[in-house]
Amino acid sequence: MERSRKILLRPFHVRRKMKQSVYIVGSKGIPAKYGGFETFVEKLTECQQDREIQYYVACMRENSAKSGITADTFEHNGAICYNIDVPNIGPARAIAYDIAALNKAIEIAKENKDQAPIFYVLACRIGPFISRIKKKIKAIGGTLMVNPDGHEWLRAKWSLPVRKYWKFSEQLMVKHADLLICDSKNIEAYIQKDYAKYQPKTTYIAYGTDTSKSILSKEDEKVRTWFADKQVSEGNYYLVVGRFVPENNYEAMIRGFMQSNSQKDFVLITNVEQNKFYEQLRKDTGFDQDSRVKFVGTVYDQELLKYIRENAFAYFHGHEVGGTNPSLLEALESTKLNLLLDVGFNREVGEDGALYWKKEQLASVIDQAEQLDNQVIEDLNQKSSQRIAEAFTWEKIVTDYEKVFKG
């Protein structure tokens, strides 16, 4: 990863008089350690083509500390990064962080005397506060762009009052945004329909994924150790990778798999430590009595994770809340056969390069999948890889963003 060094903000203004300034708020920051928005900002800056854009990235101080960075401002991938201190105030912390980061961005833009700066806010956390901040942005000739993310207000992890806040906050962000950049055509259609009274200006730019293959081979020690330790073998397991939350439909996947006649394993790469949902699901489904169902914890080694994806018989994807899901893109790129929950978000991405299942019908889709001959599976593999190459590479996504930022 590119080295990060302490820098001063002012000299950059001198060097980049005519550059388009873009201030990115709402990720935990770069260098990216985890997370969808963090990876997006990392790739946006790492794969930058247009050197007439100067990125500024708000970072949570503890995220920077994980990379050993303590300076208030530093440079990473050519972006000017600035650390924000946020008190630990519970669930409202993310809201306080976004407000502080956006206000700091406006301050820097003023100091730099930026012409027509762009402020790009990731997610809709600060709707009730955006009206006042938007006035400050307008006062310096700035533009407010927003990524509305997915249907955060539908996530089961939130209580009803929090869900109501998310929906209200989203409404206000849509109202005040000069442009909404949606990473899913389904999200864009929803914004246009639900908030038609604001006549929102929207555009679609997808999320991206890495298209390189794993550098590991079957003989590598770390590969053999992992497979021996987890008691699984290449080509003989179904796989799922993702957060262990109800709206990702783990219950439907586990029940469907347990009802199937498959002799293969079901490998779940997810963190279930101290997870109430895991305990509830164990009681409800009895998956711990089925030796085929294997919770194997998390895999932080990206090359090993890629190898595990590439050597699965098939991948299950059960997400139904949100836009373009990073885990789905990785699966379509890496795994030959993909079994996706049949919702608009997933069909939009997978098109004809995957099989689709309804919640009550997964067992029969699994049994059908195991009857497919190798040529049919290879055809699906080619289609899904082609889909990624045409629409979801980081190079394409970054180019699409640069066109928007340069107007």
Domain locations along the chain: 5-208+394-405, 221-391
Query: Against a cut of 0.85, is the pTM above it?
Result: yes
- Inform me whether the pLDDT recorded for 208 exceeds 80: yes
- Inform me whether the pLDDT recorded for 162 exceeds 70: yes
Those residues whose C-beta lies under 8 Å from the C-beta of residue 86, and which sit 6 or more positions away, are: 60, 61, 93, 96, 97, 100
Would you say 181 and 159 are in contact if contact means Cβ atoms under 8 Å apart? no
How high is the pLDDT of residue 389?
A: 96
In whole angstroms, give the CA distance from residue 386 to residue 400.
19
Compute how many other C-beta atoms are within 10 angstroms of the C-beta atom of residue 196: 9
Would you say 315 and 238 are in contact if contact means Cβ atoms under 8 Å apart? yes
How high is the pLDDT of residue 367?
A: 97
Length of the chain: 407
CATH 3.40.190.120 fits 5-208+394-405, yes or no: no
How high is the pLDDT of residue 36?
A: 85
In whole angstroms, give the CA distance from residue 34 to residue 32.
6
How high is the pLDDT of residue 153?
A: 64
In whole angstroms, give the CA distance from residue 347 to residue 375.
22
- Inform me whether the pLDDT recorded for 16 exceeds 50: no
Would you say 170 and 124 are in contact if contact means Cβ atoms under 8 Å apart? yes
Residue bearing tokens 């957060």: 243
Q: What's the CA dihedral at 163, 106, 97, 85 to 10 degrees?
A: 180
**Residue 300: band (very low, low, confident or very high) from pLDDT cuts 50, 70, 90:** confident
How high is the pLDDT of residue 246?
A: 86
- Both tokens assigned to 276: 């109430």
Those residues whose C-beta lies under 8 Å from the C-beta of residue 118, and which sit 6 or more positions away, are: 20, 21, 22, 23, 142, 143, 145, 405
How high is the pLDDT of residue 156?
A: 64
**Residue 5: band (very low, low, confident or very high) from pLDDT cuts 50, 70, 90:** very low
Reference 75, options 30, 10, 120; nearest CA is 30
**Digit-coded pLDDT (tens) for 52-68:** 999 999 999 999 999 99
**Digit-coded pLDDT (tens) for 344-390:** 889 999 999 999 999 999 999 999 999 999 999 999 999 999 999 99
Per cent of the chain over pLDDT 90 is: 81
- Inform me whether the pLDDT recorded for 17 exceeds 70: no
Q: Please report, as a single letter, which amino acid is at residue 372.
A: L
| Matching fold, domains 5-208+394-405 and 221-391 | yes
**Residue 141: band (very low, low, confident or very high) from pLDDT cuts 50, 70, 90:** very high
How high is the pLDDT of residue 376?
A: 98
Would you say 326 and 39 are in contact if contact means Cβ atoms under 8 Å apart? yes
How high is the pLDDT of residue 345?
A: 87
In whole angstroms, give the CA distance from residue 119 to residue 142.
7
**Digit-coded pLDDT (tens) for 234-276:** 999 999 998 898 888 999 999 999 999 999 999 999 999 878 8
User: Does residue 228 or residue 159 have the better pLDDT?
Assistant: 228
How high is the pLDDT of residue 324?
A: 77
Average pLDDT score over residue span 114-121? 98
- Inform me whether the pLDDT recorded for 150 exceeds 80: no
- Beta strand 143-147 with 118-122 is parallel
Superfamily in which the 221-391 domain is placed by CATH: Glycogen Phosphorylase B; (3.40.50.2000)
- Inform me whether the pLDDT recorded for 1 exceeds 70: no
How high is the pLDDT of residue 4?
A: 45
Would you say 53 and 117 are in contact if contact means Cβ atoms under 8 Å apart? no
How high is the pLDDT of residue 151?
A: 67
**What average pLDDT is seen over the chain?**
92
How high is the pLDDT of residue 274?
A: 79
Average pLDDT score over residue span 156-177? 87
Average pLDDT score over residue span 387-396? 96
- Inform me whether the pLDDT recorded for 101 exceeds 60: yes
Those residues whose C-beta lies under 8 Å from the C-beta of residue 191, and which sit 6 or more positions away, are: 148, 174, 180, 182, 200, 202
Per cent of the chain over pLDDT 70 is: 93
Reference 24, options 113, 123, 90, 111; nearest CA is 123
Would you say 318 and 249 are in contact if contact means Cβ atoms under 8 Å apart? yes
